[in-house]
Structure 1
Amino acid sequence: MASTCAQLCLRCRGLLCSKTLTSTGQYYAQVRHCNTVTKVPTKISNRLFMWGNHTAPQTRLRWKQHMCYYSDLTVKYLTSEAKEGKHTEDVVRTDVAVYPAPLLPTRDDVSTTENQVSLADLDAVAELSALEEITDEEAVGISSPSVMPLASTSLRDYVDKSETLTKLVQLGVDLWKLEQRPHVGSMLLKLDFSKDVAPRLLFLKEVGVEDSRFGYIITRNPFILTESLENLQTRVNYLKSKKFSSETIASMVSRAPYLLNFSVKRLDNRLGFYQQQLSLSTSNTRNIVARLPRLLCGSLEPVKENLKVCEIELGFKANEIQHIVITVPKVLTANKRKLTQIFDFLHNTMKVPHHLITKFPQVLNTKYLRLRERHCFLEYLGKAQYDPALPNYISLDRLVFLPDETFCTDLALATLEDYYLFQKTL
């Protein structure tokens, strides 16, 4: 009796193992079929094909659904086997992994609606050929989403994707100059054109700034786009209270873009400094600032240094310095070396006294090379005479500011060709 039971157990175990191998083989045959089908050429936008494990998104999704389906069937089968009391300790081993002995059901054991795999879509992908070409309509229909770069060293990568940068370029702003300044590019990308930029542009237009100057102003002072409208209006009102006309304020803002970024207190201190330091009247102070508005924006150290140079090194008196500054305000911000070089040539080489330089202070703002060439040419011809008390007097303003042709015919009494030949000898 015992031997008979043992034979029956061995026979059942053999039958069970045979079914296990059969079902497992069918399962891996299905998996290999899916792998083979999904390993197809994938068409991309430039009419090329990529081979390998680059499956199409839909195929990859169906493959995941297929694997999840078999996993669910495995759980259901194991549960049903446990309920029926069927237990086995046999293990099927392969070269890749170890699988428990409970069998996966075959396609015949499951209903057609649950186990059906949409192989038609996979076959459609498999039918793609590497030699197939897409039509022009299909090529036009291919589009990629516009994605803002996460990081870049140039603002040009963001122009097509940022409305603010696009409008700034249209206004004439030089973005290549702004991107060289620290943190300015990030600041511009955070601005909203309708909320941040447009109101400031409308304010500048109300002040009187021409549209053609917007690009110049923002290129040199992009921070005006972050100033509050209330502060901007307060500073304009202050300038009006100091008797600056609307046209003058518009001109000052256009030529000195940083003017409206400074507080009323700073503007007032600057006006007071020039008025007290040079002993100027209110109208003269307003005049020099209107003609050179960057006096209110730049540092005061170069101004103080130039005033010391004019007084100590060049030897001008206080009233002479005052007259020079009123006539040529640019002397206050001129390069110290250039200013000293021109004065030295005028006073020590040309023998022009201080009072004549004060009478024609524009000569301090000329080019040193032009002054030297013309004086040397007149000296070569024997006509270098700058004393108004003597005959054949040549004033400094005519010496410097006349065109070359007029200078030759009226002052040197020579031809333009002679003057050019003389320049080559210097």
Structure 2
Amino acid sequence: MTLCATLVEDRAELRILLLIAMASSCTRLCLRCRSRLCSKTVASTWQYYTQVRNCIRVTRVPTQILDGSSVIKGNHIMNQARQCNQQMFRYSDLAAKHLATEAKGDIGVEETSGADVVAYKSTLLPIRDAVLESQVSLDLDAAADISALEVISDEEAVSISFPSALPPVSASLRDYVDQSETLSKLVQLGVSLWKLEQRPNVGSMLLRLNFNTDVAPRLLFLKEIGVEDSRFGYIITHNPFFLTESLENLQSRVNYLKSKKFSSETVASMVSRAPYLLNFSVKRLDNRLGFYQEQLHLSASNTRNIVGRLPRLLCGSLEPVKENLKVCEMELGFKKNEIQQIVLAVPKVLTANKSKLIQIFDFVHNIMKVPHYMIAKFPQVLNSKYLRVRERHLFLEYLGKAQYDPTLPNYISLDRLVSVPDETFCTEFALATLEDFYLFQKTL
């Protein structure tokens, strides 16, 4: 440590000696010039000399760094030393140019020979080389002695701060949108981040994704299979884990569906409406298709029909489906062929709420006196709202027009009873005004 400090002090003394020689040479030159030239040159020389002395003070500070001060302070001093060296180089060049210009532009140029200017420049150049050499030597010495394993005090450790591009902790993905390219572009696609952040581990997963390498290739895959751009946001919002699936697996699942004679348009529609579809393996998709074909005794064409219209049958749990099939057969009393007929017309019956299904059937069959075969012929009534069915039937019954037998006059079909708007219902079936129907609803 003492040897390094001595070397730095020797370099500083050498600089001072060189500066004194430069100043004396410049003084001799100024004596042969006019007073104006002398005054300007000496002023520039002493200004330069003052700057060099200040820089020498700064460059001597690293002796304290070598004695064991903090790395952070050392780096700050090193930066100051480099700035001072740059100022020394600039003043050296300006002084040389100033002297040469004044010597050439003066009337008494015969008294100021070009040899003096050359001598002045030759005095400056070694100083510049010496400063550059000392700077390189100083950087090497500091880099050799400063270690990342050096022990620092608690105060210095607390003062160390590292700028962070992302907030360390946040309860909302909104705080990361401006810093994350992936999140900002997902927002532009229409992804609802407020829905995703409510799901565990999804927010951290999205922050780890790179848009160009993780997101963009999968969006391009969706576009290639026919999914519209407007559906990208919906798909990612409901199934963000699609972004972590490999492209090979995604392509193999699409190829399987096409091998089962699903058209390209049907596959694109299924993926758009059931985002989790492509997260399931080929084996699972095959088991699901086999289940519906076997349980409902359907042909391959009819199986594709119900799955294409309700693709979430391949994604959801099979337990509600099994339970609804048992309810239709055992509790509601439908035959297997009637259940098949109902499912082909309204696949949503398989995933409907069991209590709602029983409630509507009970009202239609026991209150409205509609037999099983008529319900199986118009199964849309099982997928309608219970309140609508009840209000309209009671209004027709109040008017004496509740007639659902196709063999009798003034027959009203179940599908039109629950599907037409209120105005059409009043004018075509009830033969009453809309105001009368609204007044009747208030009595219920």
TM over 0.5: yes
Amino acid at match of 1:193: F
1:361 aligns with 2:379: yes
1:1-400 matches, within 5 Å, as 68=64, 147-400=165-418
Hey, what's the Cα distance between the residues in 1 that align with 2:429 and 2:353? 30
**TM-score (normalised: structure 1):** 0.67
Is 1:146–1:161's contact at 8 Å kept on the other side of the alignment?
no
Measured at CA, do residues 145 and 362 of structure 1 come closer, stay the same or move farther in structure 2, by a change above 3 Å? same
Amino acid at match of 2:340: Q
Is 1:271–1:285's contact at 8 Å kept on the other side of the alignment?
yes
Name the structure 1 match of 2:419.
401
Hey, what's the Cα distance between the residues in 1 that align with 2:275 and 2:424? 38
Hey, what's the Cα distance between the residues in 2 that align with 1:186 and 1:335? 34
Amino acid at match of 2:204: S
Is 1:275–1:282's contact at 8 Å kept on the other side of the alignment?
yes
Instruction: Report which of the two has the higher share of helix.
Output: 2
Deviation at 1:419, TM superposition (A): 0.4
Hey, what's the Cα distance between the residues in 2 that align with 1:287 and 1:384? 35
Hey, what's the Cα distance between the residues in 2 that align with 1:240 and 1:68? 75
Deviation at 1:145, TM superposition (A): 6.6
Helix, strand or coil for the counterpart of 2:271?
helix
Amino acid at match of 1:221: N
Hey, what's the Cα distance between the residues in 2 that align with 1:278 and 1:212? 35
1:130-163, Cα deviation, whole Å (9 max, x unpaired) = xxxxxxxxxxxxxx97721112111111110010
1:424 aligns with 2:442: yes
Hey, what's the Cα distance between the residues in 1 that align with 2:250 and 2:62? 66
Name the structure 1 match of 2:124.
none
Unpaired stretches in structure 1, ≥5 consecutive residues? 1-61, 73-143
Amino acid at match of 1:173: V
Hey, what's the Cα distance between the residues in 1 that align with 2:380 and 2:296? 19
Hey, what's the Cα distance between the residues in 1 that align with 2:244 and 2:164? 28
Helix, strand or coil for the counterpart of 2:275?
coil
Is 1:256–1:297's contact at 8 Å kept on the other side of the alignment?
yes
Name the structure 1 match of 2:40.
none
Hey, what's the Cα distance between the residues in 1 that align with 2:397 and 2:242? 53
Hey, what's the Cα distance between the residues in 2 that align with 1:391 and 1:253? 47
Deviation at 1:399, TM superposition (A): 1.0
Hey, what's the Cα distance between the residues in 2 that align with 1:158 and 1:291? 39
Hey, what's the Cα distance between the residues in 1 that align with 2:419 and 2:388? 10
Helix, strand or coil for the counterpart of 2:410?
coil
Deviation at 1:420, TM superposition (A): 0.5
Amino acid at match of 1:315: G
Amino acid at match of 1:182: P
Hey, what's the Cα distance between the residues in 1 that align with 2:437 and 2:310? 35
Name the structure 1 match of 2:142.
none
Hey, what's the Cα distance between the residues in 2 that align with 1:249 and 1:370? 35
Hey, what's the Cα distance between the residues in 1 that align with 2:367 and 2:193? 48
Hey, what's the Cα distance between the residues in 2 that align with 1:276 and 1:163? 48
Helix, strand or coil for the counterpart of 1:258?
helix
Helix, strand or coil for the counterpart of 1:363?
helix
Is 1:172–1:216's contact at 8 Å kept on the other side of the alignment?
yes
Hey, what's the Cα distance between the residues in 1 that align with 2:63 and 2:248? 65
Hey, what's the Cα distance between the residues in 2 that align with 1:246 and 1:192? 29
Deviation at 1:66, TM superposition (A): 11
- Segments ≥4 residues shifted beyond 4 Å: 64-69
Hey, what's the Cα distance between the residues in 2 that align with 1:192 and 1:384? 63
Is 1:342–1:364's contact at 8 Å kept on the other side of the alignment?
yes
Is 1:394–1:411's contact at 8 Å kept on the other side of the alignment?
yes
Name the structure 2 match of 1:9.
none
**TM-score (normalised: structure 2):** 0.64
Unpaired stretches in structure 2, ≥5 consecutive residues? 1-57, 69-161
Amino acid at match of 1:158: Y
Hey, what's the Cα distance between the residues in 2 that align with 1:256 and 1:364? 23
Hey, what's the Cα distance between the residues in 2 that align with 1:349 and 1:300? 32
Is 1:363–1:400's contact at 8 Å kept on the other side of the alignment?
yes
Is 1:217–1:257's contact at 8 Å kept on the other side of the alignment?
yes
Is 1:343–1:364's contact at 8 Å kept on the other side of the alignment?
yes
Deviation at 1:289, TM superposition (A): 0.1
Amino acid at match of 1:387: D
1:60-114, Cα deviation, whole Å (9 max, x unpaired) = xx8x959949x99xxxxxxxxxxxxxxxxxxxxxxxxxxxxxxxxxxxxxxxxxx
Amino acid at match of 2:376: T
1:147-190, Cα deviation, whole Å (9 max, x unpaired) = 21112111111110010001100000011111111111111111
Deviation at 1:280, TM superposition (A): 0.1
Amino acid at match of 2:345: T
Hey, what's the Cα distance between the residues in 2 that align with 1:185 and 1:179? 5
Hey, what's the Cα distance between the residues in 1 that align with 2:164 and 2:181? 13
Name the structure 2 match of 1:140.
none
